[in-house]
């Protein structure tokens, strides 16, 4: 199957889904492994398998597992006769030992704020369900609460080094490490910085090395009036503000990277397995910081058709991070040069 893109409209998808609903889809596991040529044996196994449902466990924080997009996903999964979904309660996840967690054959589990990732890994090691999104790799993408602060701070670097190892292009970058025993050398002048000898002319991007810290600054060259744009996690109608500050932050460790000029949008890609990716574009928070919303208050998104090169990137990201469901940000610079700037793991297409 080729990689799908967003060329299929939501209406078409919904029609397909309604059709699926009428035909009551089902499947049973192990058919291929058995290699059942003999019909008698096949019927016998069918009888044994008749009542066998694959239990799909959802293990995530309540905010995620009770969210609207997750409820939509569950409604669709429940249409499959041979699937049963089982949402682990947050109370159980947080307070019960993993031995007491419910059993499942297949696990959809992902980290978000407050989620005990180490515990989920223990559960997975104990019961060995089929994991949709690899849990160990989530340490590299997200913060595990039990991890040391030094580990936590490495996230963006780790994501970047995985991308590099896979030959996926990312913006040219350097790490300014102020925490380690051998801090990086920094030279700052009006229109550029040098990190360990690597020069970044303005405009450049400054990202905190903790992937959980979304306070990303973009510095403008003096020729464009100087100052900087301060990005943050969306608050209502704003995603960034302009500041007249032209000097870089003086404490903490950061990634400095070249600013990739785009058409003013970020391409948000969501994979479902290596062969399927949905993409949509949204106004970049790096512009004026005013979030575009429609009449219902939803953020405006633009349709995107992924090129073959982009589909290949989606495949590589999904496989490299071992996350079947994986969201990431793609910068389309000058319409053709592609750079991945952020990998988020399991994420829903935003509804607000």
Ligand X SMILES: Nc1ncnc2c1ncn2[C@@H]1O[C@H](COP(=O)(O)OP(=O)(O)O)[C@@H](O)[C@H]1O
Residue 259 touches which member of Mg ion, ligand X, none, C-beta under 5-8 Å by kind: ligand X
CA 255/CA 246 separation, integer angstroms: 17
Residues in contact with ligand X by CB under 6 A are: 171, 205, 207, 214, 216, 231, 257, 259-260, 266, 284-286, 329, 331, 341-342
Minimum Å gap between C-beta 300 and ligand X is: 15
- Among 347, 323, 343, CA closest to 133: 323
Contact 330, 347 (CB under 8 A): no
- In the complex, which residue's CB is closest to ligand X? 342
For every residue of 305-319, DSSP letters joined together read ---HHHHHHHHHHHH
Query: The sheet that has 173-176: what strands, in order across it?
Result: 173-176, 254-258, 204-208, 217-219, 228-235, 238-243
Cross-strand partners of 187: 194
- Among 291, 288, 295, 331, CA closest to 313: 331
Other CB atoms within 10 A of residue 56 CB: 22
Using CB under 5 A as the binding rule, whether residue 105 contacts Mg ion is answered as no
Using CB under 5 A as the binding rule, whether residue 122 contacts Mg ion is answered as no
Q: Which is nearer to ligand X, 5 or 284 (CB)?
A: 284
User: Residue 343: helix, strand or coil by DSSP?
Assistant: strand
Residue 286 touches which member of ligand X, Mg ion, none, C-beta under 5-8 Å by kind: ligand X
Q: Which is nearer to ligand X, 88 or 110 (CB)?
A: 110
Binding residues for Mg ion, total number by CB under 5 A: 2
Residue 123 touches which member of ligand X, Mg ion, none, C-beta under 5-8 Å by kind: none
Q: Which is nearer to ligand X, 88 or 259 (CB)?
A: 259
- Cβ contacts of 90 within 8 Å, gap of 6 or more: 61, 62, 65
Q: Which of 342, 343, 345, 346 binds Mg ion (CB under 5 A)?
A: 342
Residue 206 touches which member of Mg ion, ligand X, none, C-beta under 5-8 Å by kind: none
Mark the segment that binds Mg ion (CB under 5 A) among 108-116, 120-128, 130-138, 338-346.
338-346
203 prior amide bond cis, ω within 30: yes
- Among 186, 243, 180, CA closest to 215: 243
Question: How many residues in the chain?
Answer: 352
Using CB under 5 A as the binding rule, whether residue 329 contacts Mg ion is answered as yes
Minimum Å gap between C-beta 170 and ligand X is: 8
Minimum Å gap between C-beta 173 and ligand X is: 8
Residue 313 touches which member of ligand X, Mg ion, none, C-beta under 5-8 Å by kind: none
Minimum Å gap between C-beta 254 and ligand X is: 12
- Cβ contacts of 222 within 8 Å, gap of 6 or more: 190, 191, 202, 246
Q: Which is nearer to ligand X, 119 or 155 (CB)?
A: 155
Q: Which is nearer to ligand X, 117 or 260 (CB)?
A: 260
Q: Which is nearer to ligand X, 49 or 258 (CB)?
A: 258
Q: Which is nearer to ligand X, 85 or 347 (CB)?
A: 347
**Chain positions contacting Mg ion, by CB under 5 A:** 329, 342
């Amino acid at each position: 199957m080729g990689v799908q893109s967003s060329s299929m409209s939501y209406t078409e998808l919904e029609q397909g889904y309604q059709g699926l609903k009428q035909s009551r889809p089902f499947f049973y596991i192990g058919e291929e492994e058995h290699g059942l040529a003999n019909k008698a044996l096949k019927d016998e196994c069918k009888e044994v398998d008749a009542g066998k449902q694959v239990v799909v466990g959802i293990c995530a924080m309540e905010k995620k597992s009770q969210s609207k997009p997750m409820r939509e996903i569950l409604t669709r999964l429940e249409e499959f006769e041979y699937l049963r979904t089982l949402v682990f309660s947050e109370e159980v996840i947080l307070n019960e030992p993993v031995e007491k967690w419910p059993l499942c054959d297949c696990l959809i589990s992902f980290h978000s704020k407050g989620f005990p990732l180490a515990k989920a890994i223990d559960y997975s090691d104990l019961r060995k369900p089929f994991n949709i999104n690899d849990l160990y790799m989530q340490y590299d993408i997200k913060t595990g609460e039990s991890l040391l602060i030094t580990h936590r701070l490495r996230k963006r670097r780790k994501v970047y080094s995985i991308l590099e190892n896979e030959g996926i292009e990312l913006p040219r970058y350097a790490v300014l490490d102020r925490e380690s025993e051998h801090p990086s050398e920094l030279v700052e002048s009006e229109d550029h910085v040098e990190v360990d000898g690597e020069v970044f002319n303005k405009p450049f991007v400054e990202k905190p090395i903790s992937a959980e810290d979304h306070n990303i600054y973009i510095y403008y060259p003096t020729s464009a009036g100087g100052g900087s744009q301060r990005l943050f996690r969306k608050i209502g109608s704003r995603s960034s503000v302009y500041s007249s500050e032209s000097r870089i932050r003086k404490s903490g460790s950061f990634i400095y990277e070249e600013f990739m000029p785009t058409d003013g949008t970020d391409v948000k890609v969501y994979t479902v397995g290596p062969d399927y990716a949905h993409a949509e574009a949204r106004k970049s928070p790096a512009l004026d910081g005013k979030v575009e919303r429609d009449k219902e208050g939803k953020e405006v998104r633009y349709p995107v058709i992924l090129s073959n090169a982009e589909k290949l990137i989606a495949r590589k990201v999904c496989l490299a991070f071992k996350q079947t469901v994986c969201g990431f940000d793609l910068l389309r610079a000058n319409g053709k040069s592609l750079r991945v700037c952020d990998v988020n793991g399991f994420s829903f297409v935003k509804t607000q």
